[in-house]
Amino acid sequence: MRVRCVSDLKRISMEYEYVFCHGNIFHIPVDHFRLDLISCQECTTLVVPKDTTMKELTEMYAQRNGYDSSIVMITRFGEIIDDDETPMTINLNRQDVLTVKLNFDEDN
């Protein structure tokens, strides 16, 4: 199964990171980047610190959205990542663009 999402990551200046996704522009101060989990409202693209593990990502996403969720598949530029403890270490100016398929627990 594949999650389709067109995302583009650009380094604009030394002070800010910009992520362009489905027409949304996320303006992220570099110094504060690790404090926030940025997500697109129109798809399942998340922007997270590059050292975040899948387990941490799941916990952050569930906490931010107020419901239980688990990641069933995650890709990074087409590469499937399936190890909960492996850090996402590809360095793209302090951040990675990840495409995530989430499984939501509708019973809770």
Per residue in 27-42, pLDDT (tens digit) is 444 443 333 445 555 5
How many angstroms separate the CA atoms of 25 and 34, rounded?
18
For position 96, what pLDDT does the model report? 41
Per-residue pLDDT of 47-98, as tens digits, reads 555 556 666 666 665 665 554 444 444 444 445 555 545 444 333 333 444 4
How many angstroms separate the CA atoms of 12 and 2, rounded?
30
For position 48, what pLDDT does the model report? 56
Domains annotated on the chain, with CATH: 7-104 (3.10.20)
How many angstroms separate the CA atoms of 54 and 88, rounded?
8
**Does this model's pTM top 0.85?**
no
Q: 66 in helix, strand or coil?
A: coil
